[in-house]
């Protein structure tokens, strides 16, 4: 079996694995499987070779990385996986870290991502919105400019 054949066969096998072994799907469509993981990524063995399911699905070529659009390395939803450059991948990791920091920020503790979505849609002056939610006007501005985001967004 040539390398190209293995990649294609593994791709089909990985898609089948996701379809038949889907253990859980969250509200954002992220799909998880009960498999052994390597670095937080579920793996599978195909014709004596071990690979991560995400890589087999995305099929990155030399120099490309597998990117998770949802920011969750454990997710194997084919619609959340694309290939990209290492720098794009690093940007994803930074974005994800930024999201987690945003959610942990003490002032954001009482607001959910749904609250943030409501605030973004609110066309009233920021001062009024801030008063309504009992938060600082600067916080409203940060939410509207998406400088403050939530992990699940």
C-alpha of 16 from chain center = 21
Place of tokens 């293995």: 6
Of the candidates 14, 70, 116, 119, which one interacts with Zn ion according to CB under 5 A? 70
Piece in contact with Zn ion (CB under 5 A), picked from 68-76, 105-113, 117-125, 133-141: 68-76
**SS3 (DSSP) at 38:** strand
For residues 2-61, which are near Zn ion according to CB under 5 A?
Answer: 30
The residue (of 3 and 27) whose beta carbon lies closer to Zn ion is 27
The residue (of 21 and 122) whose beta carbon lies closer to Zn ion is 21
Burial class (CB in 10 A: 0-12, 13-18, 19+), 71: buried
Q: Rounded to a whole number, what is the distance in angstroms from the first to the last CA of the chain?
A: 42
Minimum gap (Å) between residue 65 Cβ and Zn ion: 16
Pair 41, 53: CB distance under 8 Å: yes
For residue 27, what are its two tokens? Answer: 């509200």
Pair 57, 7: CB distance under 8 Å: no
Minimum gap (Å) between residue 28 Cβ and Zn ion: 7
Minimum gap (Å) between residue 80 Cβ and Zn ion: 3
How many residues bind Zn ion (CB under 5 A)? The answer is 5
For the beta carbon of residue 129, count every other beta carbon within 10 angstroms. Answer: 21
Minimum gap (Å) between residue 108 Cβ and Zn ion: 23
Minimum gap (Å) between residue 69 Cβ and Zn ion: 7
Of the candidates 75, 108, 111, 143, which one interacts with Zn ion according to CB under 5 A? 75
The residue ranges that bind Zn ion (CB under 5 A) are 30, 70, 75, 77, 80
């Amino acid at each position: 079996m040539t390398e190209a054949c293995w990649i294609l066969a593994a791709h089909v096998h990985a898609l089948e694995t996701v379809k038949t072994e889907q253990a859980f799907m969250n509200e954002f469509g992220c799909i998880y499987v009960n498999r052994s993981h390597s670095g937080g990524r579920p793996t599978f063995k195909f014709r004596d070779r071990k690979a991560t399911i995400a890589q087999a699905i995305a099929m990155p070529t030399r120099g490309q990385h597998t990117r998770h659009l949802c920011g969750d390395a454990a997710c194997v939803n084919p619609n959340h996986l694309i290939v990209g450059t290492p720098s794009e991948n690093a940007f994803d990791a930074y974005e994800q870290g930024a999201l987690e920091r945003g959610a942990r920020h003490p002032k954001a503790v009482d607001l959910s991502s749904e609250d943030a979505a409501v605030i973004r849609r609110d066309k009233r002056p920021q001062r009024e919105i801030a008063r309504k939610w009992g938060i600082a006007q600067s916080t409203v501005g940060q939410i509207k400019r998406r400088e403050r985001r939530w992990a699940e967004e």
